[in-house]
Chain A
Amino acid sequence: MSVAGECCCGNVDTREQKLTEIIEKYKNTKGALIPVLHEAQELYGYLPLKVQKKISEGLDVPLAEIYGVVTFYTQFSLNAKGKYKIQVCLGTACYVKGSSKVLDKLREKLGINVGECTEDGLFSLDACRCVGACGLAPVMMINDDVYGRLTVDDVEGIIEKYRNK
């Protein structure tokens, strides 16, 4: 049985097994919770309740505490993200250079708000604070790719590139 996001392809969900391995790996490390959450999120793309429950049992940490940690840090997400995670930088350098206009354009183009995911599951849109490429401001990231020196006009072409992938 899969933990999250039931799938109909008939393949066995190996993620649960992997999650157990992750928990085992960190079990005896001091302060294990956050590294485990990082790896679990890498595995599932987000941290649904069932995953948190399993970590709670595995590490012997109360579920309430885990939920508290997950909701404290912005990197951890309770919701599924898009296949392409768009993050627009709203750090100071980017803000001063007009990154909020880029964000507005993306909202308009994708028809979603910050924190949401398009219906086809292709794109999710988030704002972040500084990805450390301030020299290229304004900046956005799509998954691990950084796009710098953006103008509002670049947005459409970039989105299309991913749509057609």
Chain B
Amino acid sequence: MQIYRAHVLICGGTGCTSSGSENVKKEFEEQLKKHHLENEVQIVGTGCFGLCARGPVVVVYPEGAMYTMVRVEDVEEIVTEHLLKGRMVRRLLAGGQEAGDVTQSLDKVDFFKKQLRIALRNCGIINPEDIDEYIAFDGYKALTKVLTEMTPEQVIDTVKRSGLRGRGGAGFPTGLKWEFAARQQNETKYVCCNADEGDPGAFMDRSVLEGDPHSVIEAMIIAGYAIGAHQGFIYVRAEYPIAVKRLEIAIGQAKEYGLLGKNILGTGFAFDLELRLGAGAFVCGEETALMTSIEGHRGEPRPRPPFPAVKGLWGKPTILNNVETFANIPRIILNGAEWFAGIGTERSKGTKVFAMGGKINNTGLLEVPMGTTLREVIYDIGGGIPGGKKFKAAQTGGPSGGCIPASHIDTPIEYDTLVQLGSMMGSGGLIVMDEDTCMVDIARYFLDFTVDESCGKCPPCRIGTKRMLEILERITGGKGEEGDIEKLETLAKNIKASALCALGQSAPNPVLSTLRYFRDEYEAHVKEKRCPAGVCKAMMKYVINADSCKSCGICAKNCPVGAIEGEKKVPYRIDQDKCIKCGTCMEKCPFKAIFKNV
């Protein structure tokens, strides 16, 4: 085997690929050839490092130097300076100049300091398209242990004692779920993986699949052994082409190595795996709808009970777990239940991966022990809010969740505390909002989403959410009526109580939680016809400050609808009837003479 003295890891996740990491990789290949280093330095395409906002990201080992926002033009410098002469290119290092003084700079970058990576352990470190790299990092060792040393009961017992709870939303104890399915007497059972990742604004499952697909495959085989299933399905969003491709490659390699198929590792245990592509329906993330969809139908949920563990896919006992839940399993088997249970809090064990986005400096992927506070996540890891703006709220749980306001920023993040605050853990989307975000508009946004995604099977969800949306549109449109807020509350209560599946039952949550913490904003919209954040177009206008206007005419030139008029030496004016409130004039004005009047 060829031994290399240095490795250049280049992120090939979706974020960095969109930022141009493919071309950076090609340039590295050329430059290494040009400087005759191709036999000394190896290039590895990896999955996501998590720091997507600063992509393309390149890490050079053995030093562990992390370069961010690397452009094609920067590559030659990294090759000649760092790889040839051993001097790090400080201007490109994550964490700035001082990071260059320490050798293991990766750990010193603020973004990584407070993180603990279990589910993401291999993401950004191994080449996801090469099973040998996974194996070199203890891959399939847990499977070997399970198949050769443990009984199915012992496996379930370990998962139960670890305290692992589902990472897909509801937080149901994983070991218990497996136990229910294991108890069913049936020759045919199924293991399914929920890789539908429907929460708009979340991408952690995608990153695991793209960066470490084998960890999910290994865990699914273990689950199959534990409950007595021989067939698995991974239901993955069709919107994730890179993840689909990597999974296909991984399944192919696992088959080739005898890790999937008839006689796994010579133990006689058989397990096979198939991919199924979703087709863009949020409700298909719900477990019963997902199974109906795999069966080839409209993805409508069915009433529970019977629970899938009893009657699931094609009427057979089935377990369904989330991608991240599965990614934890191999480590729990190898390091033991006690190790895992020692991380996190009393009732939430282990770590949680969050996809942090919105108004935050370091957008990206992070994994922290349960119980880490929101403040640590937003300020220590996320680097705070851009532009010196004020933090207003964080949204978790997507369309089923709610907001955590600034007053609760020191709350530890765990399943139960989030529910108490009226939000939920959800799958891990964490959207940060600042003072410029209108909370009524956000509630309207999520309702618009659920109305769009409601499958239409049950009336409370189909009709009720639509009525709620109409009221919210009225309020944000400046036509709110006395009593609208109370109507929203009544509808919310009834929908929660009567909808068929969790999509409908949780659809009112974004409204209820914003009402709980930001009722004054609703009231300002309804009573004063005013949007305090200046977002709702119907209630604000752009105005030119006559004193600071220098009559340069740039605003008028850029206005797409010709709503601005003026002449030399006279301040310009906006015709409010023509104005479409796009905000272009305000952005373009060199003298900051245009402002929003709310």
Contact = CB atoms under 8 A, between A and B. Distances in A.
A104 B280 contact: no
A133 B14 contact: yes
Contacts of B295: 30-31
A34 B200 contact: no
Nearest to A37: B279
A25 B189 CA distance: 25
Interface string B267-290: 000000000111111100000000
Contacts of A91: 200-201
Interface string B558-590: 001000000000000000000000111000000
Contacts of B241: 144
7 contacts: A31-B295, A37-B279, A73-B281, A75-B280, A92-B445, A97-B357, A136-B53
A27 B203 CA distance: 34
Given A73-B281, A130-B203, A135-B15, A95 B445 contact: yes
Interface stretch (B102-110, B149-157, B218-226, B296-304): B296-304
Contacts of B445: 92, 95
Contacts of B446: 92
Range for the number of chain B residues in contact with chain A: 35 or more
A33 interface: yes
The 7 lowest CB-CB distance pairs between A and B, nearest first, are A135-B52, A93-B357, A92-B201, A91-B200, A73-B279, A146-B18, A31-B296
A93 B19 contact: no
B14 A132 contact: yes
B320 to A, nearest CB: 15
B296 A34 contact: yes
A139 B276 contact: no
B318 interface: no
- Considering residues B279, B297, B560, which has the most beta carbons from chain A within 10 angstroms of its beta carbon? B279
Contacts of A108: 560
A131 B280 CA distance: 11
A35 B357 CA distance: 33
Contact of A132 (B239, B296, B582): B239
A90 interface: yes
B357 A148 contact: no
A66 to B, nearest CB: 10
A135 B53 contact: yes
Nearest to B210: A132
A54 interface: no
Contact of A134 (B201, B239, B449): B201
B200 A92 contact: yes
B355 interface: yes
Interface stretch (B73-81, B82-90, B335-343, B358-366): B358-366
A5 interface: no
B53 A38 contact: no
B122 interface: no
A133 B398 contact: no
A69 B280 CA distance: 12
B456 to A, nearest CB: 9
A144 B355 CA distance: 22
Interface in A118-165: 128-137, 139, 144-148, 152
B281 A74 contact: yes
Contacts of A148: 15, 18-19
A78 to B, nearest CB: 14
B437 A101 contact: no
Given A94-B201, A136-B363, 7 more contacts: A33-B297, A35-B277, A92-B395, A96-B359, A97-B357, A108-B560, A152-B582
B467 to A, nearest CB: 22
Contact of A32 (B240, B296, B359, B395): B296
Given A34-B279, A135-B357, A152-B584, A92 B15 contact: no
Interface of A: 30-35, 37-38, 65, 68-69, 72-76, 90-97, 101, 104, 108, 128-137, 139, 144-148, 152
Contacts of B297: 33, 65, 69
B535 to A, nearest CB: 10
Interface in B197-215: 197, 199-203, 206
A120 to B, nearest CB: 22
A105 B93 CA distance: 36
A132 B47 CA distance: 13
Contacts of A38: 238, 277, 279
Contact of B203 (A32, A74, A133, A147): A133
Interface in B319-352: none
A76 B429 CA distance: 26
Contacts of A34: 276-277, 279, 293, 296
A74 B442 CA distance: 23
B514 to A, nearest CB: 14
B455 interface: yes
A90 B296 contact: no
A129 B55 contact: no
A133 B15 contact: yes
A141 to B, nearest CB: 9
B17 interface: yes
A10 to B, nearest CB: 34
Contacts of B240: 132
A32 B293 CA distance: 11
Contacts of B200: 90-93, 129-130
Interface string B174-217: 00000000000000000000000101111100100000000000
Contacts of A131: 14, 239
B318 to A, nearest CB: 13
A137 B277 contact: no
B505 to A, nearest CB: 20
B227 interface: no
B363 A135 contact: yes
B327 to A, nearest CB: 16
B257 interface: no
- Considering residues B52, B281, B296, B355, which has the most beta carbons from chain A within 10 angstroms of its beta carbon? B296
